[in-house]
Structure 1
Amino acid sequence: MKISLKKTDLFVGIYLLSAVMFFIISIPSWLLDFLLAFNLSVALIVLFNALFAKEVLDMASYPTILLFTTIFRIGLNVSSTKLILRDGDAGKVVLTFGQFVGGGNLVIGIIIFIIIIIIQFIVINKGSERVAEVTARFTLDAMAGKQMAIDSDLNTGAITDKEAAEKRKKLQQENAFFGSMDGATKYVKGDATAGLIITGINLVGGIVMGMLYSGLTVNEALNKYTILTIGDGLSSQIPSLLISLATGILVTKASSDGELGDEIVGQLFSIDKVLMMVGAALVVMGLFTPLPNYIYIPLGIALIVVGRRLKKRTGVEAIEEEVEESEAEAQEIRKPENVVNLLNVDPIELEFGYGIIPLADVNQGGDLLDRVVMIRRQVALELGAVVPIIRLRDNIQLNPNQYIIKIKGIQVSDGEILFDHYMAMNPGYVEEEITGIPTFEPSFHLPAIWITESQRERAESLGYTVVDPPSIIATHLTEIIRQHISELLTRQDVSNLINNIKDNNQALIDELVPKLLGIGEIQKVLQNLLSEGISIRDLVTIFETLADHASVTRDTDILTEYVRQSLKRAISGKYFPSNETTSVVTLDPNIEQEIMSSVKNTEQGSYLSLDPERTKKIMASTGSELKKLEDMGKNPIVITSPIVRLYFKKLAVDYYKDIIVISYNEVESNVELQSVGMVTA
């Protein structure tokens, strides 16, 4: 196997390997000079990258960079320590730092070195560590809220699916980055501590080595090795200070589209009144205090002049911006309309009047957007189908409290609510009634009343079912989606469902698609199931059943019946409670025979050709039997033989929308049924 090594990988590998080698081998002083200069260059590069990065993720690898530079710098410390103790000479860079920074004075050099250590260890490192810790915690705590905000923007159409995926990825990267930075700042703190300890070791060890092995006096050893120790400490601590400063800049940086320099200057010197007030204060201090007036008065006058120019420029910019906006609006009016965008139709839309806007506005405490997200999750769990993005829009043409629900651009239902009111419904056993505004619950058209907040507690104590406006809209929207979910299932959705189970069921998918059935035919079967409220979550069972029978028939209606029989456990669980006898209506065998005799088979499929008069009589009998179930408070369930179920359902659904038709083969053997009537004609 051939392994290709990129130049960047080679550089990183050599960088880390050399840092490890510094602990083992001794390097000459001239090489140490070069490496110290290189280390300072890397520190400056890191600092300015952190300074000019527009957002923290521009340096997402910073925690790793921090670890690499720390180990490299400590390796150089070890190498310089060897040279100082062994030869009393650590190269020109170390000597120059020791002599030049201290100005030839040991006391000054020591003080400067201690000051740098204090600044780095107590000020920058301590602050960076605390900021990184707090930022990591708050970033993690805010992640759930940011995820919901992305889902809300996606539901309202403010962003596309691709943009939502990018935002989620960026959110995860930010969370991982600040979590890593929380730990990475410990490297900086440890580096400063190690530098301080190494410096002490160099000083004591150098004096001992100078006196014992070089024959130096105490003063000579102290003078020589103190300069070298300070130079060594400064040559390593100054790059370390730059890295610490870069860490502080990065963890305190707020995400912005501009560079940090522009942000700082723009925010400090953007208000003309502030500059003129500060300038006036400096002039007063220069005139009426012992402070040097030759500094304060010119500086104050300069700030006043800058403030006046800024005020004038701000006014000109405001006029120019207003003109540009007017020109842009005019240009927009003159621009030819892009009619292609008008051709797009949203699968599901919820439009509402301006009175309902507070329910959808997060800033006003509205949670309607969150409820819409929950609807999609609920339907996915209940029916196994992915609900398309639900678009929420305000419509000034509607009444203030009105909302409408559209499926593929066509209105299918509407409702009206009273803001700051609650809907109270009598479940049937409430003895004492309360006063309110009569209305109808929009989902199931049940009688209800609007009550105020002050009546809510009493209504609940009396047994009323009380719901708030967002719950009313969410329930209504959920029911509409359930009714139309079959037509919302597209071929692309089916393809996605197939891909979701393909990894673990490769043989099944290869056998079924496209050898036996196409995606369109599978779509029809799934739509048939969804149209009768049957969940399609168990796709493996559905596809295996299709694979078993598709070689015999490709009639999607017949295939649907086979699938339903395979899903009889789910169907029985949905309609027949365990340990309970379920009341149903049966179909006269003569009626079943008559229906089957009227079935006509064609190349396009089979259909029922029954005399209209006979149809009316059968449906009349069906209605009277279903009335018995309705009076008992039971579901309108009709049990038929397997071969008849499909055709009787198609016949009856036009007359009774909520009718449930189940065949004997779709009922588990442990289910107890009780017939309360038989459809005859």
Structure 2
Amino acid sequence: MSAMANLIRLPQQFMGGKQFKGLAGPVLIILILSMMVLPLPAFLLDLLFTFNIAMSVMVLLVAMYTMKALDFAAFPAVLLFSTLLRLSLNVASTRVVLMHGHTGPDAAGKVIEAFGHFLVGGNFAVGVMVFIILVIINFMVITKGAGRIAEVGARFMLDAMPGKQMAIDADLNAGLIGEDVARKRRTEVAQEADFYGSMDGASKFVRGDAIAGILILFINIIGGLVVGMLQHGLDFSAAGKTYTLLAIGDGLVAQIPALVISTAAGVIVSRVTTDEDVGRQLTGQLFSNPQVLFLTAGIIGLMGLIPGMPNLAFLLIAGGLGYYGYRLAQRKPQQQRAAEAAAAAQATAAPSVDAAEATWDDVALIDPLAMEVGYRLIPLVDQSQQGELLGRIKSIRKRIAQEIGFLVPVVHIRDNLERGPNTYVISLKGVEIGRGEAFPNMWMAINPGQVTGTVPGTPTQDPAFGLPAVWIESNLRQQAQIQGYTVVDACTVMATHLNHLIQTHAAELLGRQEVQQLLDQIAKTAPKLTEELVPKVLSLSTLHKVLQNLLEEEVSIRDMRTILDVMAEHAPTVKDATELTSLTRLALSRAIVQQLFPGDSELQVMGLDASLDRVLQQALTSNSGIEPGLADNLLREAQAAVERQEQLGIAPVLVVQHGLRVLLARFLRRSIPRLKVLSHAEIPDSRHIKITATLGGRV
């Protein structure tokens, strides 16, 4: 089986490789010349005439998409081959018309019949006039204008060549460019000179084709009369009508593509000297733009839908072009990424001799906070497409600054084609901290735990809090809301996830620069407080650590006056950041409790069993840490108690002795981050406590 597979793949590799591109030119020439000698059936003539029309439209579209003259260096060869193709088709159709024209108007195929009847209404006099007008337009207007442009362009190009060569030599001598760049620029100048010099000669193909079209028309009419009357016994009227309409259809089907090619000759280049042969230029340049293939397929497909036209031939060509364009469009991004990777590897492995020296400006620092999005999420962040995510992020930064007390860094958003099309990734200092998927024009129905039914859609999870959810279509939004779902759009999903991660990692986002900016803000209203404290009494590093400790425990640092007052009072004698944090929490205790239990209601909290409290106090005193078995039991009981508190709608808060708070807060925060640990000293005297659960009864 493997041997057979290799035999099958070998022709495919050969056909898709460079060998086939190199053979394209000679094979095409042989086929065109063969059509002048071998008889062709009517259906094959239809296909070839349709291909000739499609080829002319493609050449014109390529000419319009070309950015500069040398981008379509194969145009002279295309012009030659298209002219030979039309002439060979004229010879083949003339043979069929003269041999089988007496059998009816479709003797030479449906395309010639359609052009002879549909386009000119079956009137041979009108057909002759239309044909002559097309020839005059082609011969007197377009071809003559293109020849004049080529003549003037060649004259100016030749006059400018010495100056361009001297400019290249001057840049090389000054060290502005290297030898390779100079050689490349000299080659381009020579190619441009060849192009403008050959354009005048290339236009002669079209002019000669127009003259040949007129002669072929009259040869077909006269030859048809002779053959029809002398060989097939037709009267003059029947022979004249039949063969004249066939000759007109044959002439129009050849002259319309010639007119299109002539138009392309006025806007595109002629044959120039390149490193590629004609076959590679044809296959590599003419069929390399998917947009050209799609537009050509659409035009040919629409022509095939016109009543009276040969639908099979046109739609067959249109389908083939559309399929090839689709396959080419799929391969384009992969080829482009591969080329960029190869170019990057080459640039790092073998840098150019004229490359600039590396500087500190080339050092790319990591963004503190960044988001990468897949290509389908780009409309959400593109303001020109009414994307709302950037505005949401601005609101998030403003709200977080008001809530936690400092301005988080700007979120840098970039697209990444290597990510999934609907995937977004949020990173902190270059490290991924969260990812999710969002679907524009769809809605996420989040199950808060009390829904009354189900909605059809794609099951998922809320990326911020892990709640079960479903991606639904827009028409199911109202139904989901009625059933108790919380329904949000894709932009809100991403913004909520980002907001949650920023709050979770607020301590890491607070750097020394942000701390200094906070001090600068305080100095505007209380300059003495900051001048006497930092750095005379308290170092910036210690203050930074204290603020990070507070943020890790989700304590707002908005009240910087109180925090600095505590630092000014205790920093001369207390140097440990953890102890300073505990003292600061005592000063902020009212705000901490208010955040967890709004209003003046009773505090329903969890407590420690007396025996467990004594064990933990001994571990703290001896500095031996919590035993593994005790730690496991404590975690299990705390997890169960937290779930019961949340089911009752009560904030999960554990109250312990002041000395144990830091130990238990650090220990429990790793496994149960939503559990908050307070000390009895942090609870104001005005608030009443009710113990709803006790930990350690079974320890």
State the TM-score, normalizing by the size of structure 2. Answer: 0.49
